[in-house]
Amino acid sequence: MVLLKLFLNVCARLNRKVFNGSGRLFRRREKLEPSQKFGRRLRAIFTSGKLDQAEWDELEATLLGADVGTSATRLILADMRERMSRKDEPVEALRATLLAALACEQTRDIELRKSADGTPRVLLIVGVNGAGKTTSVGKLAHLAVEEGAQVVIAAADTFRAAATEQVETWAKRAGAQLISGEPGGDPAAIAFDAVKSAKESGADLVLVDTAGRLHTKVDLMNELGKVRRVVEKGAAVDEILLVLDATTGQNGLTQAKVFGEAVALTGVILTKLDGSARGGIIIAIQQELGIPVKFVGLGEGIDDLAPFDAELFVEGILS
């Protein structure tokens, strides 16, 4: 009886996902299949316990092709060799190496409900132009609302054409309140107002959508620091998440470094992982900067956000 209920439950949820947004679940699968070709090839070549030069080269090519980068690839192959010398099977050695490379001390979880004393959680969403910040804000808001949270979104991108209208659409879709200002207005002021409003209304979560900015623009990086400082006058900032496009190459590490210098990053949202890019640069970001990936974006729909799963990510690179 319980099993049947469970089964029906799952079907109902699947149905909801299938018909909610016209076949998004199936569309997502279609998208994921081709990009999983990568690792399948790899598994096929690891036939014996030892690897010949061609197989090592193939492995190196796979990692480089996933944007893991030359230094990180070197370290991974060396680590893998070491494990194999201790009698590990190649596939196991590789999986263990990659998981070790992604291991992080901090939690990947984020708090979506306000703290015991009623202070709202504040998340700052930052990143370069076009990474997927506003869409991610919408997804996070939706996730939080589904969990029963009351959400306030700060439309702090006052620069880009129609940015406020864009995040407004997401706020409506997610069921979150929007705090916005005039184009060209002060982003820090809007963020502060959102925190103030959240405290007054007893909201759980404040999501601050900021303007896309290249890390090479010093004044824009300084502005980000200012936004954080101003927000902190109202409430502590719980998370500063860097939104990173999975197609980004080695520049992703530079982005994380420089954004991290301007504001202390607590995590990464890796977006557009439903494409053919593997996002391997996050390995270097974890290793060199200790910044963990907390979420992955898997499409343009409001549901297309998943918590980062290291095992699945490694599978994506390999299988």
Which residues contact other proteins by CB under 8 A? 27, 30-31, 34-35, 61, 64-67, 69-70, 128-132, 134, 138, 159-163, 165-166, 168-170, 214-219, 245-252, 254, 272, 274-278, 281, 300
Which residue lies nearer to other proteins by CB, 40 or 160? 160
Q: Which of 244, 248, 233, 249 has its CA nearest to residue 267?
A: 244
CB of 116 to other proteins, least distance (A): 35
Angle at alpha carbon of residue 139, lines to 133 and 141, rounded to 5°:
100
Which residue lies nearer to other proteins by CB, 174 or 231? 174
- Whole-number Å distance between alpha carbons of 135 and 127: 12
CB of 202 to other proteins, least distance (A): 28
Both tokens assigned to 99: 């998981």
- Residue 98 CB neighbours (<10 A): 24
Q: Give backbone dihedrals phi and psi of 242, rounded to 5 degrees, phi first.
A: -90, 120
CB of 91 to other proteins, least distance (A): 22
292, amino acid identity: P
Which residue lies nearer to other proteins by CB, 94 or 128? 128
Which residue lies nearer to other proteins by CB, 175 or 249? 249
CB of 190 to other proteins, least distance (A): 18
- Whole-number Å distance between alpha carbons of 123 and 138: 13
Per DSSP, what are the bridge partners of residue 297? 305
CB of 212 to other proteins, least distance (A): 8
Which residue lies nearer to other proteins by CB, 3 or 161? 161
Which residue lies nearer to other proteins by CB, 83 or 272? 272
CB of 40 to other proteins, least distance (A): 15
Contact status, residue 197 vs residue 237, Cβ threshold 8 Å: no
Residue partners of 7: CB distance under 8 A and separation at least 6:
none
Which residue lies nearer to other proteins by CB, 110 or 174? 174
CB of 245 to other proteins, least distance (A): 6
Residue with tokens 């984020």: 110
- Whole-number Å distance between alpha carbons of 302 and 121: 21
Angle at alpha carbon of residue 58, lines to 55 and 63, rounded to 5°:
130
- Residue 142 CB neighbours (<10 A): 21
Both tokens assigned to 64: 């480089």
Which residue lies nearer to other proteins by CB, 31 or 108? 31
Contact status, residue 313 vs residue 129, Cβ threshold 8 Å: no
CB of 69 to other proteins, least distance (A): 7
100, amino acid identity: A
257, amino acid identity: K
Q: Which long-range contacts (C-beta less than 8 Å, at least 24 apart) are formed by 2-8?
A: none
